[in-house]
Chains A and B, each alone.
Chain A
């Protein structure tokens, strides 16, 4: 008999036990392990995908930022270049202007300095010339000169024009104070008398005269009455000349046209036609 019923039953039981054993010790742990691994791999893949997506996003963002940065940089660079160009031009202009201004200032300073120097030279020269002149004339002044001066004064007095004579006479008449005659040196009695006489003759009146010595006249005679004056003196000549030269130098600085100071010609002043009638000038 090929079939044994007890064996069949035993084998069925054995097989069922084996199924349980296999399920318990083989399939369940193996399948659980496979599931766990698959889940882990899936999770890791998802994680990797997420990271990849994030990386791509980051990369895109970085790329975008890079491009933006490039554009910004280029814009800034061009702007800076433009600004530098403008600034350079501005600075150049400024420097040119400053240089021009400095040049002008220096030129002006030079001119001013030259003018000051010229002025100084002129002033000193004038001063020296007048000093020399004064010294010379003072040295020359003496009794004979005084006499000659007195003579000249008297002649001038007589030669006064009618109008001046009238004006002076009027003053002499109205004033009670004596006429003051100033001279650089003590006038001798005869000269005093001559002058007195000349005055009386000129104004046709008895004039009270008072004589005074004034060394600052250098050489000459001055007649003063009630603020009016009739004089002839070298000091007057010199003052007139000084004023004339002073007026000439007061004008605009013309270094080239400015006359060179020649002490030789200045030592002896020659009264110009315009300044000459000082001899018997009438001042108020």
Chain B
């Protein structure tokens, strides 16, 4: 039994290796890209449109609305990054219904990579929005003493993002694996449904936390403590 899909290696050449995480990520990417391409190929701007287009429109508008509700002024600017984050995590959890599939988010490497992206994106958006000086100044708010704590906060929340998603996704897979050995019938199906729900919730949490971090970094003239979210 593997704890992470990283351990399933299909091909390796020195430092380079092709493990299940990468392969399933590619698969997801392919499905998402081709699916989007097929749906948006015959896109309609009229009132009559296909169901798939409707679905994508609902997803896009809901995501945009969520970003706006969190407090980001121009949601369109952040939608590709934050929306893709949500969609990737959600799709990774959703595809667990297929037998033999291992969610890439069940690998700490993937979640760490996503957290790393957020970790880089937060200051990047902050600097774009507020300017380099203003963004750096936010680390010494309200006093200079807070600087180390702010830096620790940045690091720890990135780590928390990675570990939280990994733990939840991995535990789901682990529970299924363990249950299959104890009660091979019916009960794993229930746990699988529960796992789907958990995966969706985790996707939402990951997305909303990233949004909140970016919102906090881009907010002008606002004390950091005021917008610091309460982490679940």
Binding site for B on A (CB under 8 A): 2-12, 14-19, 21-23, 25-27, 29-31, 33-34, 36-37, 40
B87 within 8 A of partner (CB): yes
Give Cα A4 to B104, complex, Å. 13
Residue among B6, B40, B47 making CB contact with A30, cutoff 8 Å:
B40
Give Cα A105 to B99, complex, Å. 130
Q: Tell whether A7 pairs with B107 under 8 Å between CB atoms, given A22-B80, A27-B60, A29-B40.
A: yes
Q: What B residues does A5 contact at CB under 8 A?
A: 109
Contact A33 B43 (CB under 8 A): yes
Residue among B19, B25, B36, B108 making CB contact with A26, cutoff 8 Å:
B36
Give Cα A223 to B1, complex, Å. 195
Residue among B40, B84, B113 making CB contact with A8, cutoff 8 Å:
B113
Instruction: Tell me how far the C-beta of A170 lies from the nearest C-beta in chain B, rounded to whole angstroms.
Output: 147
**Most chain A beta-carbon contacts within 10 A, residue among B4, B60, B84, B88:** B84
Residue among B3, B26, B64, B84 making CB contact with A2, cutoff 8 Å:
B3
Give Cα A109 to B201, complex, Å. 126
Which residues from 59 to 98 on chain B have a C-beta closer than 8 Å to any C-beta of chain A? 60-61, 64, 76, 79-81, 83-85, 87-88
Give Cα A14 to B15, complex, Å. 18
Q: What A residues does B116 contact at CB under 8 A?
A: 8, 12
**Most chain B beta-carbon contacts within 10 A, residue among A11, A15, A34:** A11
Contact A34 B57 (CB under 8 A): yes
B221 within 8 A of partner (CB): no
Q: What B residues does A40 contact at CB under 8 A?
A: 45-46
Which residue of chain B lies nearest to A18 when distances are taken between CB atoms in the complex? B29
Instruction: Tell me how far the C-beta of B163 lies from the nearest C-beta in chain A, rounded to whole angstroms.
Output: 10
Q: What B residues does A6 contact at CB under 8 A?
A: 15-17
Residue tally, chain B, CB below 8 Å to A: 50
B44 within 8 A of partner (CB): yes
Q: Given A4-B109, A10-B22, A19-B84, 12 other A-B contacts at CB below 8 A?
A: A2-B4, A6-B16, A7-B22, A8-B110, A11-B21, A12-B117, A15-B85, A18-B32, A22-B36, A26-B32, A30-B60, A33-B40
Contact B117 A15 (CB under 8 A): yes
Contact B43 A3 (CB under 8 A): no
Contact A11 B76 (CB under 8 A): no
**Please, could you name 7 A-B residue pairs with CB atoms under 8 Å apart, sorted by A?**
A3-B108, A5-B109, A8-B113, A10-B113, A11-B114, A22-B87, A29-B43
Residue among B21, B60, B87, B166 making CB contact with A7, cutoff 8 Å:
B21
Q: What A residues does B76 contact at CB under 8 A?
A: 31
Give Cα A118 to B17, complex, Å. 159
Instruction: Tell me how far the C-beta of A8 lies from the nearest C-beta in chain B, rounded to whole angstroms.
Output: 5
Q: Tell whether A11 pairs with B104 under 8 Å between CB atoms, given A4-B109, A18-B84, A26-B40.
A: yes
Shortest 9 CB-CB contacts between residues of A and residues of B? A11-B113, A7-B109, A23-B80, A25-B36, A26-B36, A29-B40, A36-B45, A2-B108, A21-B33
Tally A-B pairs: CB < 8 A.
124
Contact B45 A19 (CB under 8 A): no
Which residue of chain A lies nearest to B28 when distances are taken between CB atoms in the complex? A18
Residue among B19, B49, B83, B110 making CB contact with A27, cutoff 8 Å:
B83
Contact A11 B81 (CB under 8 A): no
Contact B60 A34 (CB under 8 A): yes
Q: What B residues does A9 contact at CB under 8 A?
A: 113
Contact A21 B47 (CB under 8 A): no
Contact B113 A30 (CB under 8 A): no
Q: What A residues does B88 contact at CB under 8 A?
A: 15, 18
Give Cα A2 to B45, complex, Å. 47
Which residue of chain B lies nearest to A2 when distances are taken between CB atoms in the complex? B108
Instruction: Tell me how far the C-beta of A270 lies from the nearest C-beta in chain B, rounded to whole angstroms.
Output: 133
Which residue of chain A lies nearest to B29 when distances are taken between CB atoms in the complex? A18
B37 within 8 A of partner (CB): yes
Q: What B residues does A31 contact at CB under 8 A?
A: 60, 64, 76, 79
Which residue of chain B lies nearest to A29 when distances are taken between CB atoms in the complex? B40
B56 within 8 A of partner (CB): yes
Give Cα A33 to B50, complex, Å. 13
Contact A4 B19 (CB under 8 A): yes
Residue among B19, B33, B79, B110 making CB contact with A25, cutoff 8 Å:
B33
Give Cα A33 to B57, complex, Å. 9
Which residues from 87 to 140 on chain B have a C-beta closer than 8 Å to any C-beta of chain A? 87-88, 104, 107-110, 112-114, 116-117
Give Cα A31 to B79, complex, Å. 10
Contact A3 B57 (CB under 8 A): no
Q: What B residues does A4 contact at CB under 8 A?
A: 6, 17, 19, 107, 109
Give Cα A30 to B84, complex, Å. 14
Residue among A12, A27, A33 making CB contact with B45, cutoff 8 Å:
A33
Q: What B residues does A33 contact at CB under 8 A?
A: 40, 43-45, 49, 53, 57
Give Cα A36 to B43, complex, Å. 11
